[in-house]
Structure 1
Amino acid sequence: MAEQTALADIRSDDDGKTDAAVVRDALGVGVAVGLSGFAFGVTSAGSGLTLLQTCALSLLVFTGASQFALVGALAAGGNPLTAAAGAFFLGVRNAFYGLRLSQLLALPRAVRPFAAQWVIDETTAVALAQPTRRATRIGFAVTGLSLYILWNLTTLLGQLGAQAIGDTAAWGLDAAGPAVFLALLAPMLKTTTERAVAGLAVLLGLGLLPVLPAGVPVLAAALAAPAVLCLEGRRRGTSRGHARVDDASDAEGSAAGGSDAEGEEAR
């Protein structure tokens, strides 16, 4: 660990990234994503949650995907326990982020429980992009603070705005949450495997929607990832098997050619 820290410090001198640059990048992410809280506030109001319940979700849960999954399932008439289960499984990924960030940030034990509240997709991405431990801490803290404040503020404003205009479904605002998800997800699908997982998840979710209770299709759609990865692993294994067979055939051909040449020389 000491060697890794020393290497990070050396890399920081070469990189030359200033604290101001880290703060600027972190604020950019915090502000851009924090504005999505408007969509959550509106969606939450459409699902029937009160202002207090909506604000409590943003203050205590503070992970956009899980919040949207919860209120989306409730809006569709799903069982609260099923909706909570879907939100929980989406939030589990943050625990894995925390395992990596705990090594990079190396925060005092007294601070870690508070920092854990900010372990989300955006803070992890900004932290991992930094070259040094100091820059990592600054990026994590600035992204977390700006996003937490703005997300909760826009959640409040979105809920109040939805209450002011009345029926959100009549305005089509119930689609705001899914639209935000698609906008955030689309640029991340860069490989064929990722696109296959997304496509299969959509098919599972839409196909099971008429036959399963609300909220359950979302959980079933999560099976798309292991299914695609399993098929991808088998395909690669088959490709390697064919490659080994071809190599063996080439080797046998070379050996046979060598034997024929030796026979000609003997004659």
Structure 2
Amino acid sequence: MGRGARDVQVIEPDATRRRLRRMAISITAAVAPFGIVFGAAASTAGLSVWEAVGYSLFVFGGSSQFAAVEILGDGGSVAAAALAGLLLNVRSLAFGVIMAPALGGALWKRAAMSQLMIDESTAVGTASDDLASRRYGYLVGGLGVFVVWNLTTLVGFVAFSGAGDLIEDLGLDVAGPAAFLALLWPRLADRRQLVVAVAGAVVAVSLVPFTAPGVPILASMSAVMAARAVGPWRPSAPSEASDLSGGQSGE
């Protein structure tokens, strides 16, 4: 019995990490087409290749990048573009609250890891219970998306200049939402997380007709913060997501 227990302790972390890597690969693949489209959109808006690459390196926020490029392409000011990007990325503050316990260390390490604080890295990171696995999932998901996003930005700028409607033309607009739904679905077995998801969706959908882009997302985060105030955040157990994520991508 003692030997069996030791075997479980050795095998389980490896199995968890394999599951997290599969999730990271799946969501990174879903993000890749959007990086190509961003590069094409940046070129169409009149940005230079270095400006487009700089956006992806230093801003690294898909929705805020698209919003800023659209505003600049329509003749808007840099201030308006920056404000739109800021509003769309304020949700990262909530992500930081959720992930902070797993991302300790020296200030410079935390600052470096904060650059990866996006929807995808948080989704993969919160798919585990223990802090070490959450940190691993966050870094694997974040670094995977960071590398692919920057590479595809360059590819899109060079190879698809002027193809601003590439997402709609190829039907790629559903790839990102589908990937997030695949990550979210196993967690809905937890009643508390189901209530949070439904409440956030109701808030967001209700505000879409009346508010500026980005505001519904920010408002929906109030459901997450309210749930956190009630008690500690408890991600779904690994076994709940393993069946779904295991079928998404190979190792």
TM-score tier after normalising by the smaller chain length: 0.5 to 0.7
Which position in structure 1 is the counterpart of 2:114? 116
Query: Between Structure 1 and Structure 2, how many residues are aligned?
Result: 197
Question: Normalising by structure 1, what TM-score?
Answer: 0.62
CA apart distance, 1:225: 6.9
Q: Indicate the RMSD between aligned Cα atoms, in angstroms.
A: 3.4
Which position in structure 2 is the counterpart of 1:106? 104
Choose the corresponding residue for 1:194, options 190, 201, 204.
201
Instruction: Look up the equivalent residue of 1:197 and give its one-letter code.
Output: A
Q: Which runs of 5+ in 2 are unaligned?
A: 1-7, 185-196, 223-251
Matches within 5 A, 1:43-82: 43-82=41-80
CA apart distance, 1:200: 4.2
Q: Which runs of 5+ in 1 are unaligned?
A: 1-11, 206-216, 230-267
Q: Residue 92 and residue 193 in structure 1: after superposition, are their counterparts in 2 closer, same or farther (change >3 A)?
A: closer
Q: Residue 26 and residue 51 in structure 1: after superposition, are their counterparts in 2 closer, same or farther (change >3 A)?
A: same
In structure 2, distance between residues paired with 1:153 and 1:28: 17
Question: Normalising by structure 2, what TM-score?
Answer: 0.65
SS in 2 for 1:36: helix
CA contact (8 A) 1:43 1:173 kept: no
CA apart distance, 1:151: 0.4
SS in 1 for 2:108: coil
CA apart distance, 1:106: 2.5
1:10-37 deviation digits (Å, cap 9, x = unpaired): xx96x93512222222222223223420
Higher radius of gyration, 1 or 2:
1
Is 1:16–2:23 an aligned residue pair? Answer: no
Instruction: Look up the equivalent residue of 2:25 and give its one-letter code.
Output: L
1:103-160 deviation digits (Å, cap 9, x = unpaired): 1232333311110100111111111111222211221111111111110000000000
Matches within 5 A, 1:1-267: 16=12, 18=15, 19-163=17-161, 167-168=162-163, 172-173=165-166, 184-185=176-177, 191=198, 194=201, 197-198=204-205, 200-201=207-208, 203-204=209-210, 217-218=212-213, 222=215
Indicate the percent of aligned positions where both proteins have the same amino acid.
28
In structure 2, distance between residues paired with 1:147 and 1:154: 10
CA contact (8 A) 2:44 2:73 kept: yes
CA contact (8 A) 1:26 1:143 kept: yes
In structure 2, distance between residues paired with 1:160 and 1:193: 39
CA apart distance, 1:91: 1.3
CA apart distance, 1:181: 6.0
CA apart distance, 1:83: 1.6
In structure 1, distance between residues paired with 2:80 and 2:168: 21
Instruction: Look up the equivalent residue of 1:56 and give its one-letter code.
Output: G
CA contact (8 A) 1:37 1:155 kept: yes
Q: Residue 70 and residue 182 in structure 1: after superposition, are their counterparts in 2 closer, same or farther (change >3 A)?
A: farther
CA apart distance, 1:41: 0.7
Instruction: Look up the equivalent residue of 2:201 and give its one-letter code.
Output: E
In structure 1, distance between residues paired with 2:67 and 2:172: 12
In structure 1, distance between residues paired with 2:202 and 2:71: 24
